[in-house]
Amino acid sequence: MSNTHADTVLYVRDTMLPQSEPPASTIGPAGWAKQNLFSGWLNTLLTVVSAAFVVFLLYRLLPWFISPTWGSDSLSSCRALFEEIGRDHEGACWGVIRDRWQQLLFGFYPAELYWRPILSLILLMVALAPVLFVGKVPAKMLIFSVIYPFMLPWLLWGGTVWMPIAVIAGFGVGYLVFKLVAKVGPGGLAAIVATLATVLWWLFLTAPVAYGLASVLPLALEPVASRQFGGFMLSVTIGVVAIACSLPIGIVLALGRRSDLPLVKWLCVGFIEFIRGVPLITLLFVASVLLNIFLPPGTNFDIILRVMIMTTLFASAYMAEVIRGGLAALPKGQYEGADSLGLDYWQAQRLIIMPQALKISIPGIVSTFIGVFKDTTLVSIIGLLDPLGLANAIRADTDWNGIYWELFLFIGAVFFIFCFSMSRYSMYLERKLQTGHR
């Protein structure tokens, strides 16, 4: 065969040609541009149009953006400055950000107490670390994560330190009662009695104990009223409280929705679908005008707390769906394995199911948090001073009457930084978790 080939073909190369460089049009920036920007007439057209669009946008916006108005203290002084330096176009008036950035971040929180919300935020990061970076921080730090929800209200609202301690003591009371009753009676009874004891402690004994201890040893922070809360601090507080409180409620609802007991199941489905079916703003209306009607006569607590309750209910319905997704994603073998080990329902949930299901759900929980955090701007409609509400308040000031874009840009940028970094984190987590399961 090869012989016939050699006979019929006149010339056969017996050495390799030296490798030549790839054509200049396929390598380097030119090659990259050809491949990614100008491959075919349609792509070229798209590239040119979008490049023109970007250039046009920058041409219109950059001169507005670069504006030496950081020092001015009112819109009229900005305009005077433009006339002075002879600018014919309008520029941004950045003085409003310098003048009011503290207000946009903290509302009317007393300036000398800014360290408290800042410390709360830092401690929030610390408390979240063991949840967010599983395996990279010591698990013992979870203890702090558990204590943090009780510290947060104390740090922000101030008052006596004994209040959060007395609330935590409620759990201790419950545990003690459980141990005592479990010695003489069945476990189920003990659990019920312990829960009752805890609730009774919270309802009737927490306040007297806290005030009693406070009169003996007054360890207190200066109290700050709710109406002084505002800005991003308010958004973050409502968001964090809503998510933290909605997590346990969401777990219960999700378990209820998957329960075999038809009545429990339908109660949970009804609650979840009702909350998910109405807009948050209607729930906020409930918080602002109806909640006091539903509670015993004479009950009157402040609007931020009412908003937090309704936001928590709102978030817990969404959280329940996220966790239900996590439960559904677990292989059936996990449930059967737990059953075959002889674990009862709650043991199986606690030791086998929940640790895995919650881990799968973390990205969904983070997205829920982003959603709730963005939705906290709705409280401006019922008159709270979240960043958007504050923007209106700042505009009502004669100094800054008529200022729009600078405030929107600042608020939008802060929201973007918060939400974008959280969504990136959630994507990172999704990738990390996916390798473990597939």
Q: Site residues (CB under 8 A) for other proteins?
A: 36-37, 39, 43, 46-47, 50-51, 53-54, 186, 188-189, 260-264, 267, 273-274, 276-282, 285-286, 289-290, 292-297, 370, 374-375, 377-378, 380-381, 388, 404-405, 408, 411-412, 415-416, 418-420, 423
Least Å distance, CB 35 to other proteins, is 8
- Given a contact cutoff of 8 angstroms between Cβ atoms, the answer to whether 362 and 422 are in contact is no
Rounded to the nearest whole angstrom, what is the least distance from the CB of residue 16 to other proteins in the complex?
A: 33
> In whole angstroms, how close is the CB of 274 to other proteins at the nearest point?
7
Q: Which is nearer to other proteins, 297 or 333 (CB)?
A: 297
Nearer to other proteins, 115 or 274 (CB): 274
Q: How far is the CB of 133 from other proteins (least distance, A)?
A: 22
Q: Name the nearest CA neighbour of 90 among 390, 392, 402.
A: 402
Which two structure tokens, joined as six digits, stand for 40? Answer: 């075919």
CA angle 156, 160, 164 (to 5 degrees): 75
Contact criterion met (CB below 8 Å) for 121 and 148: no
Alpha helices in 201-230 (DSSP H): 206-216
What the block records as the tokens of 65 is: 């953006």
Smallest separation, CB 339 to other proteins (Å): 13
In the complex with other proteins, the residue whose CB is nearer, 17 or 261, is: 261
CA distances (Å), origin 339, targets 332, 345, 348: 11, 8, 7
Q: C-alpha dihedral over 207, 208, 210, 213, to 10 degrees?
A: 170
The least CB distance from residue 196 to other proteins, in Å, is: 13
The smaller minimum CB distance to other proteins, of residues 133 and 420, is found at 420
Beta strands in 157-212 (DSSP E): 159-160
Least distance CB 327 / other proteins (angstroms): 19
Residue 365: both structure tokens together: 């929980």
Q: Which residues of 371-398 are buried (b: 16+ CB within 10 A; e: fewer)?
A: bbbebbbbbbebebbbbbbbbebbeeee
Q: Which is nearer to other proteins, 98 or 276 (CB)?
A: 276
10 Å CB burial of residue 100 (0-12, 13-18, 19+) is buried
Toward other proteins, which CB reaches closer, 71 or 248? 248
Closer to other proteins by Cβ: residue 225 or 278: 278
Give the list of residues 6+ apart from residue 86 with CB closer than 8 angstroms, or none. none
- Count Cβ atoms within 10 A of the Cβ of residue 137 and give its class: 0-12 exposed, 13-18 middle, 19 or more buried: middle
Cα–Cα distance measured from residue 204 to residue 198, given in angstroms and rounded to the nearest whole number: 10
Q: How far is the CB of 392 from other proteins (least distance, A)?
A: 9
CB nearer to other proteins: give 155 or 238: 238
CB-nearer residue toward other proteins: 290 or 305: 290
Q: State the minimum distance, in angstroms, from the CB of residue 44 to other proteins.
A: 9
Contacts of 405 (CB under 8 A, 6+ apart): 92
- For residue 387, the minimal CB distance to other proteins (Å) is 8
- Our CB check for other proteins shows the closer of 258 and 374 to be 374
In angstroms, the first-to-last Cα distance of the chain is 51
Distance CA 89, CA 69 (A): 14
